[in-house]
Structure 1
Amino acid sequence: MPKKDIVVGTPSDQPQNHAEEHHGDEHHHADVMIMLHEKQFSVNKEAHLVAHITHDGKPLTKAKVHFEVWQGNGKHEFIEASEKQAGQYEAVTSFQEKGTYSVKTHVETEQLHEHQVEQITVH
């Protein structure tokens, strides 16, 4: 994805020599697609969160993946996922209440760190 510099405040307050700037915690943003397989779940039943992840059109393998799940302003739960097959990561959980939840899928490798938020519904 292209990166853009956005200046907040007076542009003259910003350093002019961008080549000397150092970004220690910079993330590489590549062509990464993250798709949750299911978005409908049942309350108090085992729920399989499955994400299909591709990088440059190919299944992304050997990534560290976890799901961050929360409802409204509630507590965020972090669930580690395991790779079931090339580019497919799964974690098992259950939902104690009906409603709409947010699921942020975090994907990390040595070269990238991506995340995406999607909504799921629990009936």
Structure 2
Amino acid sequence: MKKIYMCSALLVMLAGCQQTDMQEDKEVNSAVPESMEASIAIKGTLDEGKEVILETTVKQGSQLVNEADEVLFEVRKSGHDKRDMLEAKNTGSGKYQVMHTFTEQGKYIVVAHVTAKGLHVMPEKEVVIPEHEAQGASIHPSTDVSIEFQSNPVKAGSSSMFAATVKLDGKPLTNADVNFEVWKDGSEESHFTKAEDDGNGRYENKVSFVEAGTYKVQVHVEKDEVHEHQLQTIQVN
């Protein structure tokens, strides 16, 4: 009887140890990462043959995700199998953008494929490109935005003053949100510099370049319903 009693006590002790280990493991594995969310916005005028900005903002909980592993925009016309896969650029503040032109009127499906922190989300947005109305039938007045870009000679290791004169229907456009997006030709990374308004439709700021080469400069202009941009190439010596 004594031997049986000792074995029973040992079994009770082992069961207690196993239960403790299981509880500890359960606590360790109970941490679940916060879900990731992404939204899609279209910046620009939705019109046939007009370039717009496809943008997604990525968040995990209340935090912006600024270092996604990959962000691709899938664009497909409704009822068609053909689709374009466009790689988006990180523009900061949890935003990723790519330029795209809808070449035909009709309904499109835009999907943002976002991979970050071991998670993957695929927000979807329906985009409608309207048919052109007959001349004189539109109830919206037409607008003409012009962007004139200027820069000083650009040298590597120094900064250069960039300026853009913006006009709407021939008149200076003031109080707009104007940014210079700059990236080296062939690079996937771009940098934005906000331009300051002088009150007369001229926006300027200094932009620095670390190394020589060919660069792209995209001027982004936004105000109310105005969403325009202009692309040019510059050489940094």
Band of TM-score, shorter chain: 0.7 to 0.9
Pick the structure with more helix per residue. Answer: 2
Query: 1:76: Cα distance to partner?
Result: 0.3
Conservation of the 8 A alpha-carbon contact between 1:39 and 1:119: no
Q: Which of 174, 182, 202 matches 1:88?
A: 202
Structure 2 unaligned regions, length at least 5: 1-44, 50-76, 80-105, 108-126, 129-141
In the alignment, the residues of structure 2 paired with residue 56 and residue 69 of structure 1 have an alpha-carbon distance, to the nearest angstrom, of 27
Alignment of 1:39-58 (within 5 A): 40-58=153-171
Calculate the aligned-residue CA RMSD, in Å: 2.8
Stretches of structure 1 that go unaligned for 5 or more consecutive residues are: 16-21, 24-28
The aligned amino acid for 1:97 is E
The percentage of counterpart residues that share the same residue type is 35
CA–CA separation in structure 2 for the residues paired with 1:114 and 1:34:
9
Larger strand share, 1 or 2? 2
State the aligned residue count.
Answer: 108
Looking at structure 1, the residues matched to 168 and 229 of structure 2 have their Cα atoms a distance apart, in angstroms, of: 13
Structure-2 residue corresponding to 1:64: 177
Residue identity in the other structure for 2:162: L
Bigger relative contact order, structure 1 or 2 (CA pairs below 8 A, ≥6 apart): 1
Flag as ranges the 4+ runs of structure 1 deviating above 2 A.
none
Q: C-alpha displacement at 1:84, in angstroms?
A: 2.0
- Tell me the TM-score normalised to structure 1 length: 0.74
SS in structure 2 opposite 1:41?
A: coil
Instruction: Give the Cα separation in 1 of the matches to 2:143 and 2:180.
Output: 20
Instruction: Verify the 8 A CA contact 2:152 2:160 in the aligned structure 1.
Output: no
User: Could you tell me whether the CA contact under 8 Å between 1:40 and 1:120 is conserved in 2?
Assistant: no
Which has the larger Rg? Answer: 2
Aligned-partner Cα distance in 1 for 2:217–2:143: 21
Secondary structure of the equivalent of 1:40? coil
Match of 2:144 in 1: 31
CA distance in 2, matches of 1:35, 1:101: 18
